[in-house]
Amino acid sequence: MKNLLMVGAGSMSEALVRGWIDSGIAPTDITMTNRSDRERLYALKDELGVQIVEEENVNDYEIVVLAMQPDGVIPYVEANTWETPLLISVAAHIEPHQLEAASGLPAVCAMPNTPVAYRSGMTGLWFGPETDETDRAKATALFERVGRTAVTDAKSMSAFMAAAGCSPAFFYEIVGAMTPVLTEAGFDQDTARQIVAQAMKGSAELLSHESRETDELIADVAAPGGPTDRGVGVLRKRDLADVMASALRESAKEDHESIEKA
């Protein structure tokens, strides 16, 4: 049996495939198909070395990943007869019980973010009621090749989607606000952006290995009355905590409303 079929060739599909290949999965073990843009499909084949098919038999594969637009997921599942693969959807606002009802197979809904292309992603895994330990381990292992995973469910998925999927835009907003200070000091735009990005990257790496509260981590670099302490004081005076929490709650609310309508 072939390893993995990716149905869809959009930006998330490409990011996942790039990450999986970088993790050591052979390009020839990944097959991609795409109904709407054959030119892109052939371009990815030439660039990444993956297999492509125009007409697929889903039961030839161990894992089938559905990465088309959300409104096409259930019709695609209903149009096929499912016998063997583990079914995974990476489309937003689809629930695993819907996939299981349409296919008769165990299913997982995964919500990765685009840093999976660089194996620095965060993926939420919502396991269907029909999945067993083997299915869950298989899905977890696949997505941990391209970053970290967290188990989600109907209650927590909207907050996860906001935190992992929406917040990168918040971070880019912060970078965009900080870089002009550096360009005004004489750095070119690219260097200014890399200075801030590297500081963010290092801080994220430290956070991923630390269990201490964020206030303790701030205290490590913010000597009383020093430049860091003064800067943090500005953020607190202007209530950055409320701004960021409100932005995240707003994004989570939109996702929750969309899930309820699906």
User: Tokens 């992603």 belong to which residue?
Assistant: 121
**The pairing of beta strand 107-111 with beta strand 121-127:** antiparallel
Phi, psi of 124 (to 5 degrees): -90, 135
Cα separation, 60 vs 121, in Å, equals 28
Q: CATH assignment of 2-154?
A: 3.40.50.720
pLDDT, residue 231, reads 97
Span(s) in the chain for CATH 1.10.3730.10:
160-261
Ramachandran class of 184: left when φ > 0, alpha when ψ lies in -120 to 50, beta otherwise: alpha
pLDDT, residue 38, reads 83
Span(s) in the chain for CATH 3.40.50.720:
2-154
pLDDT, residue 92, reads 86
pLDDT, residue 102, reads 97
pLDDT exceeding 90 applies to what percent of the chain? 86
From the options 2.40.10.10, 1.20.1070.10, 2.40.30.270, 1.10.3730.10, give the CATH code of 160-261: 1.10.3730.10
pTM, rounded to two decimals? 0.84
The residues, ordered by sequence, that sit 6+ positions from 151 with a Cβ below 8 Å of its Cβ are 124, 125, 126, 127
pLDDT along the chain (262 residues), means of 10: 86 95 96 87 94 93 95 95 95 94 97 93 96 97 97 94 90 95 97 96 93 94 95 96 95 60 40
pLDDT, residue 262, reads 39
Strand order through the sheet with 51-52: 51-52, 30-33, 2-7, 61-66, 86-89, 107-111, 121-127, 147-151
pLDDT, residue 254, reads 59
